[in-house]
């Protein structure tokens, strides 16, 4: 019986993580665009994220997005950004910290450089400072 229960949990665990961004507008981007040939979707949860104090990492990258795709995702991100408690918007990227849900922090990172569009949703106990450290690029030495 224990083996059957473990197998069921393994099968359902990716789907349980996907529930995290339910209720957010960006869920439509993951649902609609992740199946495209020019799209790459990455979903990580569990032990792989434990050292980062995260419970979910869900990303979508679209290479050579159409104008309609860019407009659609930008609109979805802006809808969720309206509820953000912290926002950082530059010409290179947008970063939003959403209100806590069930004791977890949640963040949306969005980058659209014309050639590729990247949308990331992350959730966990990590603070805003920790998240920024994880995503900072190491500066090349001179």
Tokens of 80: 């969720």
Is 52 within a domain? yes
Is 27 within a domain? yes
Is 2 within a domain? no
Domain count, the chain: 1
Is 55 within a domain? yes
pTM for the model stands at 0.79
pLDDT digits over 7-51, tens only?
343 444 444 444 556 789 999 999 988 888 999 999 998 888 888
Best CA proximity match to 57, nearest among 94, 95, 20: 20
Is 141 within a domain? no
Its domain, for residue 46, covers 22-135
Is 43 within a domain? yes
CATH number at residue 30: 3.40.1000
pLDDT band at 75 (very low <50, low <70, confident <90, very high): very high
């Amino acid at each position: 019986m224990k083996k059957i229960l473990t197998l069921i949990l393994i099968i359902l665990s990716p789907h349980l993580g996907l529930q995290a961004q339910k209720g957010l507008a960006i869920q439509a981007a993951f649902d609609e665009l992740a199946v495209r040939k020019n799209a790459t979707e990455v979903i990580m949860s569990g032990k792989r994220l434990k050292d980062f104090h995260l419970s979910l990492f869900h990303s979508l990258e679209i290479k050579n997005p159409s104008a309609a795709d860019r407009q659609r995702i930008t609109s979805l991100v802006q809808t969720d950004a309206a509820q953000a408690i912290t926002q950082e918007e530059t010409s290179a990227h947008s970063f939003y910290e959403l209100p806590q849900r069930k004791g977890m922090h949640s963040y949306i990172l969005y980058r659209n450089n014309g050639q590729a569009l990247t949308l990331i949703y992350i959730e966990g106990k990590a603070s805003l400072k920790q998240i920024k450290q994880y995503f900072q690029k190491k500066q090349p030495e001179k």
